Amino acid sequence: MAAHSDFAPEVSPVERRRDAYVWRLLVTGVCFVLFGIGAGVVGVVLLPLVRIIPAARERKRERARTVMRLALRLFIGVMHRLGGLTYEFRGSERLGRPGQLIVANHPSLIDVVFLLAFVRGAGCVVKAGLWRNLLTRGAVTLAEFIPNDSTADMIVAAAGALRDGQPLIFFPEGTRTRPGQPMVFHRSGANIALRAAASVTPVYIRVEPTTLTKAEPWHRIPPRRPHFTLVVGEDLDLQPYRAAPLPVASRKLNERLQAHFEAELERPAC
């Protein structure tokens, strides 16, 4: 019976489950279901209304983005109030400016939910699979989000949206960070920034303990209640990158951007 031996050394004991573990597991499951139901209500009732009420295409796009923002804001409120997570979002009032490229790291499944819930009128580059999913296709089409499947088309569309004065949310990692592995930023974000952004604003996202990462199923929830910290950083100064041709400049900016995020995320959120 090795399990109860008094002589067993204490090697990294599994962290004790606390903060109402079973309740949080239930809440997590319920939230996935609620998200599905919410997406159904938005997709089947609200967005079709936006589509049929006569207005210019841009107007419909803005209405669709507003509907989605409020729905996601409600969803975050539900997750928070049911005790599934806690969060703080510092500096969100500086997001949503015309032509602003909002660049964020991507530790968890719901980072994009936070950004879309708090940034007014923003577009977003999202995975192309959302256009093939019946639940999400109508929403991403009407809101004119940008699919990330073809690099060239994505860059052209993203630059177009920024020149058009829309704020745009972009995750340079392309997909969620793999826990324990270094972040890898794709250069397309830096390229888009230099092409067309009026300003580039970083958002540093920390999740402690990690949850809903790339590597785990939904039911493997952390032993403690996760806390999300989203901090809006200072705008990046693009002037030093303007002189060189784009292929060279975007490589430099991308390296700088990634180093910037690594340094910032290394520190505690304080």
Which parts of this chain interact with other proteins (CB under 8 A)? Answer: 150-153, 155-156, 186-188, 191, 245-248, 250
Query: Which residue, 166 or 191, is less far from other proteins as judged by CB?
Result: 191
SS (H, E, C) 126-154: ECHHHHCCHHHHHHHHHCCCEECCCHHHH
Q: Using alpha carbons only, what angle is made at residue 252 by residues 251 and 256, rounded to the nearest 5 degrees?
A: 115
Q: Sort 254 into a burial class: Cβ within 10 Å, 0-12 / 13-18 / 19+.
A: buried
Tell the smallest beta-carbon distance from residue 164 to other proteins (Å). 18
Tell the smallest beta-carbon distance from residue 237 to other proteins (Å). 22
Whether the CA torsion 204, 205, 208, 209 is positive or negative: it is negative
The β-bridge relationship of strands 146-147 and 100-104 is unpaired
Tell the smallest beta-carbon distance from residue 248 to other proteins (Å). 7
Query: Which residue, 153 or 234, is less far from other proteins as judged by CB?
Result: 153
Beta carbons within 10 angstroms of residue 110's beta carbon: 23
Supply 4's token pair: 């109860």
Query: Which residue, 9 or 245, is less far from other proteins as judged by CB?
Result: 245
Query: Which residue, 140 or 159, is less far from other proteins as judged by CB?
Result: 159
CB of 119 within 8 A of CB of 146? no
Tell the smallest beta-carbon distance from residue 155 to other proteins (Å). 5
Query: Which residue, 137 or 195, is less far from other proteins as judged by CB?
Result: 195
CB of 102 within 8 A of CB of 114? no
Query: Which residue, 158 or 221, is less far from other proteins as judged by CB?
Result: 158
Tell the smallest beta-carbon distance from residue 160 to other proteins (Å). 12
Tell the smallest beta-carbon distance from residue 150 to other proteins (Å). 7
CA distances (Å), origin 225, targets 69, 87, 141, 248: 25, 10, 35, 44
